[in-house]
Amino acid sequence: MPGPVAVVVLVAGLTACNAPSYKGMPIQEFVEIAEAEAAAEQPAGIPGPATTRPAAIPTEYTLGPADLVSVTIYGLDSLDQPTVVPVRISDDGKLVLPLVGPLNVGGQTLTQAERTIAGAYAPRYLKNPRVLLELKRPHTTKVLVIGPTGAAREVELRRNERTIFQSLARGQLGDRAQADLIFVQPASDPHKLETYDLTKASDVVQAMNRPPLEEGDIVIARPAPPPLFYIYGLTQRSLYGVGQGLLGAYPIPESGIRLRQAIAAAGGPPTAFDIDKVVLTRRLKDGRDVCVVFKWKKLVVGEEPDVALRPGDVIEIPHTAQTRTEEFIRNALVLRMGVNAVYDPINHLVPARVDVDDDDNGLNIRKLILSDVALRATRRVTSPVLGP
């Protein structure tokens, strides 16, 4: 009957023959592409080129059609009594006042409109006119808003609240911290659905340049799902349940996470195994799926780059011939070498004084040995240390 060494060598050879081969993109090429893609993603607070620069969001209310205002003019009829004129702004943005007729105030703030009105009366009608303009009833636009909590409500938006960002800033779309995804279904085209991911600079610019919301539009605000990376293979989390989070899927923090940190988050490599490589798979911006193979020992000592992960990255720590062999031994498999030749690794651990022909006695001893092997493997698990 073959000895333990011969069987281990045979199992290692068989495992090596079945081990997958990885032909990945060169590391340097991968790093250059990743840097180029990162440079192309501008932060949300930085505007793009002049052709895509978003329009400024007004902080004051601007007058427009259908607004009802009250104009108070001092000294027009008498020095003691002011003249109060309620007036509604016409569709072309004008209001009509005594003596001066129609004045264009559309798009102006209250202060600017007061200057326009005072300038129309001076100096022909009043030497030093004093004008007070009050907004009595602003024109509002009604839209249906479904907030981050899923509750639907009808919201009346003033003219300075009809853009997406104005509505968010004033809390009309719910909690700004939870509204990262905005969907707009225009009333003019119910089959159209606009999507704005406010975590992306390009979508932020598009949302700021979007025309104001119209009557009957539907706006849906949702929190963006947390970005995730995925890891499987030889990690303590997948083998022994060591680590935090869902098995195989882990969130990427706002500060980012690098390859070694991601492996540590999954419990790190099992100390019982000597791993060889780490395979990173990523979908590039051009739609290509590429994999990059890192040598674990070179990655640890800094000879290979510790790249930053992106949402959707998949990390695999594949088995090697050695890890498959060790797994074979730890699982106490029975290897049949022929018709009569059977090798059971556990039998070599049974003390010679025990009569293994006794079914009950041999079974109990086997259970004790398997428990001992499992206990030793558990004791070899250590807590990982996060990389830099």
Q: What is the mean pLDDT of the chain?
A: 74
Burial of 307 (C-beta count, 10 Å sphere; 0-12/13-18/19+):
buried
Between residues 330 and 39, which one has the greater pLDDT? 39
DSSP 258: B
Q: Nearest Cα to 269, choosing from 320, 340, 220?
A: 320
Residues 112 and 117: their CA atoms lie apart, in Å, by 9
Element holding 318 (H helix, E strand): none
Residues 320 and 15: their CA atoms lie apart, in Å, by 8
Confidence of residue 94 (pLDDT cuts 50, 70, 90): very high
Q: Has residue 57 got a pLDDT over 60? A: no
Q: For the domain with range 20-41+227-318, which CATH number is right: 1.10.1740.10, 3.20.20.70, 1.10.3720.10, 3.10.560.10?
A: 3.10.560.10
* CB proximity list for 302: less than 8 A, separation 6 or greater: none
Between residues 388 and 216, which one has the greater pLDDT? 216
pLDDT of residue 200: 81
Dump pLDDT digits (tens) for 144-172: 988 877 788 888 888 877 777 677 766 66
Residues 194 and 207: their CA atoms lie apart, in Å, by 10
Among 57-61, 214-218, 229-233, 304-308, the least confident range? 57-61
pLDDT of residue 148: 77
Average pLDDT over every residue of 123-145: 88
Between residues 323 and 211, which one has the greater pLDDT? 211
Write the CATH number of the domain with boundaries 141-222.
3.10.20
pLDDT of residue 372: 53
Average pLDDT over every residue of 86-98: 92
pLDDT of residue 313: 93
Confidence of residue 258 (pLDDT cuts 50, 70, 90): very high
Within 10 A of 22 (CB to CB), how many other CB atoms are there? 13
Average pLDDT over every residue of 186-200: 88
**Pairing of β 314-317 and β 335-336:** unpaired
Dump pLDDT digits (tens) for 362-372: 445 544 544 55
Question: Could you state, in order of their start, the residue ranges of all structural domains in the chain?
Answer: 20-41+227-318, 68-137, 141-222
pLDDT of residue 367: 47
Average pLDDT over every residue of 74-89: 84
Confidence of residue 303 (pLDDT cuts 50, 70, 90): very high
Residues 219 and 196: their CA atoms lie apart, in Å, by 11
Dump pLDDT digits (tens) for 8-49: 444 444 444 444 566 778 989 998 988 888 887 654 444 443
Per CATH, is 68-137 categorized as 3.20.20.410? no
Confidence of residue 90 (pLDDT cuts 50, 70, 90): very high
Q: Has residue 102 got a pLDDT over 70? A: yes
Burial of 163 (C-beta count, 10 Å sphere; 0-12/13-18/19+):
buried
- Model pTM score: 0.47
Q: Has residue 255 got a pLDDT over 90? A: no
Average pLDDT over every residue of 233-251: 66
Cβ atoms of 295 and 276 closer than 8 Å: yes
Q: Has residue 253 got a pLDDT over 60? A: yes
Among 149-153, 168-172, 222-226, 376-380, the least confident range? 376-380
Could you please report the per-residue DSSP string of 111-180?
A: HHHHHHHHHHHTTTT-SS-EEEEEEEE---EEEEEE-TTS-EEEEEE-GGG-SHHHHHHTTTTS-GGG--
Task: Check residue 210 and give left, alpha or beta (phi > 0: left; psi -120 to 50: alpha).
Answer: beta
